[in-house]
Structure 1
């Protein structure tokens, strides 16, 4: 039996963070928490991290596609905040952003972590970007680090032929 169960240290990884300026007062907390997690826990070198600011959450996937084409990143963190407003725009935007990021990750075989808060109101968004607990930036960074290691482990492992098992 082969079990792949990885840790969250990835000191030689190259990571991009794509962050939305819209709702910047929340997103800055997510960014700081993600960076702290990447460097303190993941041991990622500062020089191996690229931060790219975009206007809003919708533009995150477009920039991630460009970064993927550079073929230098082991993983990418998306950071943004989508808050429900008076119209149904929130629902369609949230669904589209999530779908685009998932498709990019699967299509390009690269981990992309979802550090985008979707909240019913500003209070919820602030709580999910907290400085002590429940910070979505920490969660996104930890998820990405583990997924980078899982991807590397799968790529480097030898797959056993079904005949060899019998």
Structure 2
């Protein structure tokens, strides 16, 4: 699939609901940046999963349909008193990496990992350094790079 359509590439926003106060801000910022970059609203599709653990499997399902030019996986894992943080963050990172290597569709790793809620909020609130816009920029850059590489093969 090429991102050269007049309305722009099709972008999937895959968002974990856990820590939704944070992931909601990230999703909104990503969507707003995509719109500012000229991507039509109907080219941006949101999907939601319970938590960050579920992101890799859902990403695989979504990308298997072949309808999207990029996927932004958004989640937030905050360290607690047990090793659960390490398992969830590691699974999300490793799983999304494996899916990315087996698909020709760029996947942006938009999972915040923080020691506490304050750190996560500082990276998600509109008044702070909201990373959602950066995730959107990364997706568009990767689509452009992939398309440029693919064009090298054309006669």
Question: How far 1:49 sits from its partner (Å)?
Answer: 1.0
SS in 2 for 1:79: strand
Shifted more, 150-159 versus 108-117: the winner is 150-159
Please state if 1:12 is matched with 2:8. Answer: yes
Please state if 1:40 is matched with 2:36. Answer: yes
Find the aligned partners of 1:83 and 1:133 in 2 and give their Cα distance.
18
What are the within-5 Å matches in structure 2 for residues 103-118 of structure 1? 103-118=98-113
- Consecutive unaligned residues of structure 1, counting only runs of 5 or more, are 1-9, 160-166
Runs of 4+ with >3 A deviation? none
- Consecutive unaligned residues of structure 2, counting only runs of 5 or more, are 1-5
Question: How far 1:37 sits from its partner (Å)?
Answer: 0.6
Aligned to 1:7: none
Please state if 1:68 is matched with 2:66. Answer: no
Structure number with larger C-alpha Rg:
1
Aligned to 1:28: 24
Find the aligned partners of 2:24 and 2:80 in 1 and give their Cα distance.
21
What are the within-5 Å matches in structure 2 for residues 87-106 of structure 1? 87-106=82-101
TM-score, L = length of structure 1: 0.86
What are the within-5 Å matches in structure 2 for residues 73-92 of structure 1? 73-92=68-87
SS in 2 for 1:135: coil
SS in 1 for 2:77: strand
The answer to whether the Cα contact below 8 Å between 1:116 and 1:136 also exists between their aligned partners in 2 is no
**Count of residue pairs brought into register by the alignment:** 149
Coordinate RMSD, CA, aligned: 1.4
TM-score, L = length of structure 2: 0.91
